[in-house]
Amino acid sequence: MSLLTDQKKDNPTNGEIIGGCAALTVMLPLVSVLHLALDGWALSYLWLWFVANPFGVAALSISHCIGLSLLISFATRTGPDLKKDNKEPGETVTLFLVWLVCSPLVIVLSGWIIKTYFMA
């Protein structure tokens, strides 16, 4: 009887899998938006303190800083660490191809949302 109990702990049920996927689907966009907002807020203060005041240039709004942060992320992004996990070759190639396509799309979509809805 204990063998069956141990197997249940190792193998999640369909309900647990669906619940985990649903939680991830809700949390990932929320955390991403929070991350972008905090990046913009932090960059706006850093810009003000270390660029605008000392050099006499204009301060940047949080939405402009979010866009600047996205631009910097796009220019300096690195791909997934394909050597980290021992994945099958097909899985590695698929992960890399998905990253190649999705990375710029997510960055441009994020920038478009900021530009469209939050910039004057």
**10-62 pLDDT per residue, tens:** 677 877 778 777 777 887 788 888 888 888 899 999 999 999 989 999 999 99
% the chain with pLDDT above 90: 21
Domain carrying residue 25: 2-118
Share the mean pLDDT of the chain.
Answer: 80
Provide the domain count of the chain. 1
Q: Which residues contact 51 (CB under 8 A, 6 or more apart)?
A: 57
Say which residue, 3 or 55, is predicted with more confidence: 55
pLDDT of residue 36: 86
| Count of Cβ atoms closer than 10 Å to residue 76 Cβ | 7
